């Protein structure tokens, strides 16, 4: 299954190898999220230009604040694109349509914009996502020069303790303060839209130099 538009944009399921390539080459983090993922490849005029990835994210209780069980909620975890003609908001919208078609039980998508990397959520604002405020700030580990979320450490069977990591993994490991991220919601049905719309806040402005 795929979604095609009149601008020669095509969004379709892709293999993990393609998604890994896109993330490692065209996403600022250069790292794949942990856990089970849905990979959508993106093509313009049949040239592969990147991937959009969905998963459960770093929060095991992603839907609890919205009265939804975990199987009805996912997170947009990566938008990894090279140079392209279509607006990012259009690419994400096509990917959401594909996600909804292939996952009829899914009701809500959550995503985050990271001010630490200069992001305020412009692509979500252009796509009419709901802004619901900031997430809690949680420090991350810096291990072998790579910044990692605590859930990534758990997936690698490392204890989430800085002294243990310094002794067994990287003696120069450290904790890195991480600012709160902007949280956006995209409801996928009318009932969910009614449920979360009252949470909407004014969009945050873009950072100024």
- Judged against a pLDDT cut of 80, whether residue 207 lies above it is answered with no
pTM for the full model? 0.81
pLDDT 10s digits, 28-77: 888 888 788 999 999 999 999 999 999 986 666 788 889 899 889 999 99
Q: What is the mean pLDDT of residues 70-90?
A: 94
- Judged against a pLDDT cut of 60, whether residue 155 lies above it is answered with no
Per-range mean pLDDT, top range of 1-15, 133-147, 153-167, 181-195: 181-195
DSSP-based three-state secondary structure for 124: helix
DSSP-based three-state secondary structure for 122: helix
pLDDT band at 176 (very low <50, low <70, confident <90, very high): confident
Contact 141, 175 (CB under 8 A): yes
- Judged against a pLDDT cut of 90, whether residue 137 lies above it is answered with no
Higher pLDDT, 59 or 193: 193
Confidence (pLDDT) at 79: 96
Higher pLDDT, 142 or 204: 204
Confidence (pLDDT) at 185: 97
Higher pLDDT, 6 or 67: 67
Query: Which domains can be identified in the chain, with CATH numbers?
Result: 2-136+180-195 (3.40.630.30), 138-178 (no CATH)
Contact 170, 144 (CB under 8 A): yes
**Alpha carbons 200 and 131: distance in angstroms, whole number:** 5
Contact 27, 49 (CB under 8 A): no
């Amino acid at each position: 299954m795929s979604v095609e538009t009149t601008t020669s944009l095509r969004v379709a399921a892709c293999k993990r190898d393609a998604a890994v390539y896109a993330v490692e080459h065209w996403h600022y983090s250069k790292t794949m999220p942990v856990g089970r993922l849905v990979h959508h490849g993106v093509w313009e005029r049949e040239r592969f230009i990147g991937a959009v990835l969905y998963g459960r994210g770093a929060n095991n209780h992603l839907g609890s604040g919205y009265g939804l069980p975990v199987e009805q909620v996912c997170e947009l975890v990566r938008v990894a694109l090279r140079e392209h003609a279509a607006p990012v908001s259009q690419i994400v919208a096509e990917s959401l349509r594909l996600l909804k078609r292939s996952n009829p039980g899914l009701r809500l998508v959550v995503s985050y914009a990271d001010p630490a990397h200069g992001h305020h959520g412009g692509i979500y604002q252009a796509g009419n996502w709901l802004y619901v405020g900031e997430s809690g700030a949680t420090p991350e580990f810096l291990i072998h020069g790579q910044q990692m979320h605590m859930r990534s450490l758990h997936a690698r069977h490392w204890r989430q303790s800085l002294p243990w990591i310094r002794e067994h993994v990287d003696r120069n490991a450290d904790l890195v303060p991480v600012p709160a991220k902007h949280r956006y919601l995209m409801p996928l049905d009318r009932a969910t839209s009614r449920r979360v719309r009252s949470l909407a806040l004014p969009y945050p402005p873009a950072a100024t130099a």
